[in-house]
Amino acid sequence: MSIEESYVCPRCGNGDPRYLGLKGGKPYCRKCISFLGAEASRLPSSPKPAPLNLHYSLSQEQRVLSERIIQNFARGVDSLVYAVCGAGKTELVYGVIALAIAKGLKVGFALPRRDVVIELFWRLREAFPHNKVVAVYGEHTFALEGDVVLLTTHQLYRYPHYFDLLVMDEIDAFPFKGNEVLTAMFLRSLKGHFVMMSATPSSETLREFHKPGHDILELRTRFHKKPIPLPRIILLPKFLQPLTIIKKLREYAKEKKPCFVFTPSIAESEELFQMVSLFAKEGHFVNSRIDSREDSISSFKEGKLRYLVTTSVLERGVTIKNLQVMVYHSDDERIYDSAALIQMAGRVGRKSEAPDGEVIFFGEKKTKAMESAIKEIRFCNGFL
Amino acid sequence: MAFCKICFQEFSAPSWRRLFGGEVPLCGNCFHSLRPSAETFALDGIQGRYLYKYTEPVRDLLFRYKACGDIELGPIFLAYQAPILNLIYRGFALVPAPSFREKDIVRGFNHVEEMFKTLSLPQINAIQKIDDVKQADLGYEERQRIGEHLKWVEGISVANKKVLFVDDLCTSGATAKACCRLLRDHGALRIEILVMGHPELKKGKEVNLAPP
């Protein structure tokens, strides 16, 4: 057998010869070559108390599930938390994290997107004020070790066979979803057991968790026991959609309601904002190409901006009080599957003070993804 | 049929490129996504040519090639232009921009030599870099002092030769200027410059070329 046929990358497990490179006659893997950087040190961590600091108490369902996650972890079972958007998934794992820190185990919390990592960093630090929470993401890799390592899935390669407890959130999100290298890096970083969380797990994930040694925990209602707002579909030609968006934005501005307008692509976010901003003041646009998006997002949260035109960067992990959501060109099937639509709709009504809101999908036609998203939300609301 | 070195998809080279024979390591789509542009510039009265605007895709690729050491990316930059460049620069000898030897050893190859191997022109390693200075970390003024870190390799002669100075990037032009001065002092008959990437300068706007 030649080198090309027999080489399997020791890091990502890739054996496809098209990803094989030769340097000085030696084979190397080109699939995971860009994952290059320092690895975490392997100093053993010592048991330390991890008192939880929460300003609110968990609901009955949350407490039950939190207990079950702890039991699963103790008996070596991997858990999948399948809970609707706004159910309070993050709080469910605080218990098991506290337990693992108290036992001196290595704890990791991985997410696909850096914006969400930054957002969650503050929440985790507030919940564990006496422990060291470190955030690790691209260009922010100064400290790699802590009691809880919060990281993007792209940084998992720094931790081979490291985590005794690994929480994986938003597993169905880009870029983790369907990425073979990241999946390999996830499995490689795992030493103990994991807890996966998602509002919209793929059928493959669900199938995987029906095997022995896995457990699916479902939470179909939000912690405040109010239904998830059902999206409304407005069918309009694409060039007329901005007009209705402008009209709605002005309405929301009068009622002092913040609003997200989602667009399928970066170019469309800029185009739409140029048009909309002529008639609706106090807004901005964000996308992954803008480095200063943190500023826009924080001034939006402070209420200085009334609306944001955004790509899918703000599709997940964002909680803003009394938010309204509009999705421009939501019939773009290449970008918007039902999971993405459910996630965007799930931004609305997440706070118990404002459990209601409006979600509007603008499209030229009704797509299958829209229908199944609405069906899924209606199904979950049926559990109330 | 072959696999593209960038997108890893199967492709066949465009028919016009096949006319010139040989294999190309990247597909037409990836090539165009790098926004190739063959434009000329002048530096101290020396004619220069660059092949790509230094945009994000080029920057990412160069990072992968240089910093991650993905040597397979070496031949992709000049693959499509090679036939015409071989004609334009017929009779020239290449002088690659110097790089610090220890760095090449860590990387496993010299990135400039590897990149310009695609051209069927002889290479002369006439200039050495004796200190580990990285131009990208320096300001404009400091960049101009690059000459102090360069040394002519003993026993190499370019007298009465046509030489083409080649480099991956040309930003402030300091390295190229210093090297061309050395080449001229050593009696080169004619000097021209060929670089892979050149920053896209907008009017009145300074482009920040910090490394990724």
pLDDT in tens, B44-63: 889 999 999 888 889 989 99
Q: State the CATH class of domain A60-219.
A: alpha beta
In angstroms, rounded to a whole number, what is the distance separating the alpha carbons of residues B180 and A243? 59
Same domain, yes or no, for B44 and B146? yes
The strand pair at B93-96 and B10-11 is best described as: unpaired
Q: Which domain holds residue B123?
A: 36-198
pLDDT for the residue numbered A55: 82
Tell whether A30 lies on the interface with B, counting CB pairs under 8 A.
yes
* Coil vs helix vs strand at B49: strand
Could you identify the residue written with the tokens 């964002």? Answer: A318
Size of chain A in residues:
384
Contact A21 B8 (CB under 8 A): no
Chain A nearest-CA residue for B64: A34
Domain identity same for B13 and B69: no
DSSP alpha helices (H): ranges in chain B? 15-19, 28-33, 56-66, 82-88, 101-107, 111-116, 140-143, 174-185
Q: Is A312 exposed, middle or buried (0-12, 13-18, 19+ CB in 10 A)?
A: buried
Q: Is B2 on the interface with A (CB under 8 A)?
A: no
Chain B residues within an 8 Å CB radius of A22: 71-72
- Give A90's contacts (C-beta < 8 A, 6+ positions apart): A120, A123, A169, A197
B18 and B68 together in one domain: no
Residues of A in contact with B70 (CB under 8 A): 21, 30, 33-34
> Which pLDDT score, from 0 to 100, does residue A1 have?
54
pLDDT band (50, 70, 90) for residue A319: confident
Position A224 pLDDT exceeds 80:
yes
Nearest-angstrom CA–CA distance, A56 and A81: 21
B27 and B129 together in one domain:
no
Pull the structure tokens for residue B161: 């030769």
Q: What is the pLDDT of residue A136?
A: 94
Cβ-Cβ contacts under 8 Å, B69 against chain A = 23, 33
Q: Average pLDDT over chain B, rounded to whole?
A: 87
Query: What is each CA distance from B39 to A41, A110, B36, B45, B87, in whole angstroms?
Result: 49, 46, 10, 16, 16
Provide the pLDDT confidence category of residue A220 given band limits of 50, 70 and 90. Answer: confident
Residues 6+ apart with CB under 8 A from A223: A58, A59, A61, A62, A86, A87, A88, A352
B94 in the same domain as B3: no
**Does A253 have pLDDT greater than 50?**
yes
Q: Taking CB atoms and an 8 Å limit, are B68 and A24 in contact across chains?
A: no
Q: What is the mean pLDDT of residues A356-379?
A: 93
Q: What are phi and psi of A140, to 5 degrees?
A: -140, 75
Residue A89, classified by CB atoms within 10 Å of its CB into exposed (0-12), middle (13-18) or buried (19+), is buried
* Best CA proximity match to A81, nearest among A211, A212, A175, A199: A199
pLDDT confidence tier of residue A48, bands split at 50, 70 and 90: confident
B59 with B138, same domain? yes
Q: What CATH number is given for A232-381 in this structure? A: 3.40.50.300
Across the beta sheet with A359-363, the strand order is A232-235, A359-363, A324-327, A259-262, A307-310, A283-286
What are the pLDDT digits (tens) for B84-130? 999 999 999 999 999 888 888 988 899 999 999 999 999 999 999 98
- Phi/psi zone of residue A5: left (φ > 0), alpha (ψ -120 to 50 degrees), beta? alpha
Same domain, B58 and B89: yes
Shared-domain flag, residues B29 and B40? no
**H or E element at residue B162:** strand B162-169
Q: What is the pLDDT of residues B133-148, one digit of tens each?
A: 888 888 888 888 888 8
B211 found inside a domain: no
Same domain flag for B113 and B15: no
* CATH number for B174: 3.40.50
Look at residue B201 and tell me whether its pLDDT is greater than 80.
no
Domain range annotation of chain A? 1-33, 60-219, 232-381
pLDDT mean over A43-49: 84
